[in-house]
Amino acid sequence: MQTRPFLTLLTAAMLLLLPQISHAGNIVFNIKSNYQYKVQVEFYSQRYNRAWPGSGKAYNINDWDTHSYSLNCESGEQICYGAWATGNSNIYWGVGMNDSHNCSNCCAICDGGSVPTITLSN
């Protein structure tokens, strides 16, 4: 009976069709605000439709300290920050609120590292 070679071939074909397993990673963004008013910040994947903290929420920065945000992401994924003055998304840094603007130098690759401190200024 020839079922064993057929099953082996079928199993191999099924394994090839399975989605590739993504490799878990993380990245740390360090953000300091020198802006005179409160600021909100969110991080956006450029590969997937997801954000940190997500669900319509944002991190609040209410002081002049440096804040570290450790994000769980897929290794190799590009993450951009968006920040804006609380209550006024027309004043923004990076990609702004809801990833709605272009930016230069506001994205990093998820590789287990830490991004140098980003300072938000007037």
Query: How confident is residue 16, by pLDDT bands cut at 50, 70 and 90?
Result: very low
> What are the structural domain ranges in the chain?
22-120
Average pLDDT of every residue of the chain: 88
- Residue 23: the pLDDT is 72
Which CATH class name applies to 22-120?
mainly beta
pLDDT, tens digit, 9 for 90 and up, residues 36-86? 999 999 999 999 999 999 999 999 999 999 999 999 999 999 999 999 999
- Residue 30: the pLDDT is 99
Give the dihedral of Cα atoms 67, 72, 76, 77; nearest 10 deg: -80
